[in-house]
Structure 1
């Protein structure tokens, strides 16, 4: 049973104990669909971050010596509890984030996949041995855990992203300090409760709520050995530069501006359905959302007619209500920024094809914005260059596939790109020439499975080793090479 009581101030979790933050600074956590205050989140300071890191350091000494098979058994119990509490955890996620219940459940299952992948750590972190590398000398490489890992996670996937980090880090023998988004902290509290119920020892997994002060304290703390971050591009750059300057291993997943190319031989019905889900699902608040459609002029009018019709059918509302297909934006201040960007796009020459702004006045409560489509966008416009993180889709018309690929590659981001085609030749050309780390061929949200890396390029990622897959095993372990000789 969760300890969360609606409207209460949320505690931190340090050294195996729930504790009240000393700070007087708190923020309300509203349901973005109803504006009801769900909780108060404390903006913890440097001293509380220090206590959490020290707790993780102390626990590391015993946790790293715990056999990997025993660590994995705890994670398997954790997986069982996640499945057992899927419905209630989904509801918590929907209430604080706004996405639909179906989207929340899908997010949690994506996180569970990573727990399942982490359960393979006895094989994943195996080393190598070369006997008799020279006369009487053997050489071996073994993997050690890095130490204390800090995880800084975003509001848009408050369950999945912590599960990208925590299970793999813990299975490899590290201890963890989680700083969840202050906008969606309730899911993180529930994850900690389930992890404790699964049997994690005291201090192995710690939780500190907070904002920028807490983040900077983690980035600069000498007891933190590695930092995993997911969030916006400016913050990712700050996290990477600051943590790296303090000698830490860093992976910082950043923003995106994902382009979907509609080729002239595309299955139009499939493309429309896929793009509608990608652009407007989760209210466009995901780094894998389709935010730009680059469509060949020869099929543009027919395609856009069907796309607008599909956008009109999207049911926007409270994610807890059955039949809802798109929820609200996370906060009113974010919605205001998006509205400003839409207006700026129109001033720069874009044409409104489907206006979702009328929904703002129609809904009595909540931070809603309907599916919005801007046509005649050009690559130099702000709506193409900047990440909006909203259900706003920009349309660029081009003459052929080569021009479409050039448009995609003009973006400073390189998270994902998608091509809709029935041509293997076109797909191969796209795969070879487009500058993005995760590609979809007729797949609107090409998120890799847990055993592949989440491999953003350009300003969509800062670091060398990505989240998930073998990259994550490399990130959460250090190689140690032993050369041995036995006299006599």
Structure 2
């Protein structure tokens, strides 16, 4: 009897999806098929690949409402927000499709009499994508679409919480007419995934998830000379300068901290505010948080749903309780939100002040609807605190001075630096992290360099 994958919906605790896990034989068969398919797929003209993948994107757009409802039931995101995932998916996919010919073109290294010389970007082979649940389409598309355009074949393992998203990818590519074996999804456990990574035939692994899981991916790949792309989350800070538009900063940073119930790798998890605007910022943030509607995410009036699991809610509650015990102050009374109930994944938004970096709520990824706020007296203090983290995914500054923003950003150890915006991936820019936020790159032209290998052609044309 095969083992079962069960997706427990945070909406009501019911079993929303149940699927058999792939056997070792199923996984090997899929890998063999991917290896065989790649030999011909890499030779398909880029224009044909673009047309096929554009049709796959069309499938997602045409089925937007049904897919959004599935996302809401699988992870608990409010139905008022889930359609935005398909919008973000489409933006990233179409951009990567559009830039593929230029990004994958042969690189001419200059004229030399009697020679033809250029560098070609060749596909790696089989790319294994291990995708997370929190933004199940947008995270997966970051690698899947450019990997396919580059001539690789793809195997996808989606998180156990979002199996229907993996199936939607397969349905989309089938509807688009992608050749058999070019894309396949597999429902599998962690041990099976590790075994697959160590197998001959997998040529690159793209993983989005936790730091411990990233180490497990590295360990699984350590016996082979293959590369890994790792996006491992963050503890992303925002800095509100004295010259900031405070009302705008409040609106943007609170949304950056609370969207998707705070379950975003690049969401705002800590905020540093200049002392001259600190009181205004904190009072404005509290007022805004009290306007949130926590409840059943299938209700269109809800804008804050449950976190993915009760254990995740308990983790956040534990961070807050520890901080309060150490002298911090939680400014939101959970009782203000009727839906907040211990023993459930329904968790009220929270803003904590009087915090410092000895507290877990300021140094450990929360991945929930909580944010700590600290008062600072200078840019130098803010820089020091923003960099005081094991993570380095994104950071943001809120100011009217673009020159200051550029100068400060040059001293911040993150993959992305924002001014007056946060919690967003621009597909034209390289998505990357430093420190424990991982390594590698997705999106932008740079992503294609990580999904291909350079091959030099040196042809003597005159003897």
TM-score range, shorter chain: over 0.9
Which residue number in structure 2 is paired with residue 60 of structure 1? 38
Pair 1:419 & 2:397 matched: yes
Tell me the SS of whatever aligns to 1:433.
coil
Q: Deviations over 1:268-307 (max 9, x none)?
A: 1111111111111100000111111111223222221111
Pair 1:294 & 2:272 matched: yes
Q: Deviations over 1:420-450 (max 9, x none)?
A: 12233432332222221212211132x2321
Q: 2:441 aligns with which of 459, 466, 488?
A: 466
Tell me the SS of whatever aligns to 1:178.
strand
Cα distance in 1, alignment partners of residues 458 and 407 from structure 2:
47
CA drift of 1:223 comes to: 0.7
Cα distance in 1, alignment partners of residues 412 and 193 from structure 2:
34
Cα distance in 1, alignment partners of residues 334 and 138 from structure 2:
28
Q: Deviations over 1:448-486 (max 9, x none)?
A: 321211122221113xx3011122111111111111124
Given the superposition, is the C-alpha separation of residues 387 and 357 from structure 1 closer, same or farther in structure 2, using an over 3 Å criterion?
farther
Given the superposition, is the C-alpha separation of residues 36 and 358 from structure 1 closer, same or farther in structure 2, using an over 3 Å criterion?
farther
Which residue number in structure 2 is paired with residue 8 of structure 1? none
- Which stretches in structure 1 are left out of the alignment for 5+ residues? 1-21
Which residue number in structure 1 is paired with residue 76 of structure 2? 98
8 Å Cα contact 1:32/1:96 also seen in 2: yes
Cα distance in 2, alignment partners of residues 296 and 132 from structure 1:
56
Which residue number in structure 2 is paired with residue 9 of structure 1? none
TM score, norm. by length of structure 1: 0.90
Which residue number in structure 2 is paired with residue 453 of structure 1? 430
CA drift of 1:254 comes to: 0.5
Cα distance in 1, alignment partners of residues 347 and 337 from structure 2:
6
Q: 1:350 aligns with which of 325, 328, 333?
A: 328
Tell me the SS of whatever aligns to 2:290.
helix
Pair 1:262 & 2:243 matched: no
Within-5 A mapping of 1:470-481: 470-481=445-456
With 171-180 and 475-484 compared, the bigger mean Cα shift is at: 475-484
Within-5 A mapping of 1:57-136: 57-120=35-98, 121-130=100-109, 133=112, 135-136=113-114
8 Å Cα contact 1:168/1:476 also seen in 2: yes
Tell me the SS of whatever aligns to 1:422.
coil
Cα distance in 2, alignment partners of residues 301 and 389 from structure 1:
26
CA drift of 1:31 comes to: 2.0
CA drift of 1:252 comes to: 0.3
8 Å Cα contact 1:453/1:471 also seen in 2: yes
Which residue number in structure 2 is paired with residue 188 of structure 1? 166
Cα distance in 2, alignment partners of residues 254 and 147 from structure 1:
24
Which residue number in structure 1 is paired with residue 459 of structure 2? 484
8 Å Cα contact 1:50/1:221 also seen in 2: no
8 Å Cα contact 2:323/2:360 also seen in 1: yes
CA drift of 1:331 comes to: 1.0
8 Å Cα contact 2:96/2:427 also seen in 1: no
Which residue number in structure 1 is paired with residue 228 of structure 2? 250
8 Å Cα contact 1:59/1:204 also seen in 2: yes
Cα distance in 1, alignment partners of residues 422 and 247 from structure 2:
13
Tell me the SS of whatever aligns to 2:400.
coil
With 238-247 and 465-474 compared, the bigger mean Cα shift is at: 238-247
Q: CA RMSD in A?
A: 2.0
Q: How many residue pairs were aligned?
A: 462
Which residue number in structure 1 is paired with residue 7 of structure 2? 29
TM score, norm. by length of structure 2: 0.94
8 Å Cα contact 1:415/1:455 also seen in 2: yes
- Which stretches in structure 2 are left out of the alignment for 5+ residues? none
8 Å Cα contact 1:240/1:252 also seen in 2: no
Which residue number in structure 2 is paired with residue 50 of structure 1? 28
Given the superposition, is the C-alpha separation of residues 361 and 283 from structure 1 closer, same or farther in structure 2, using an over 3 Å criterion?
closer
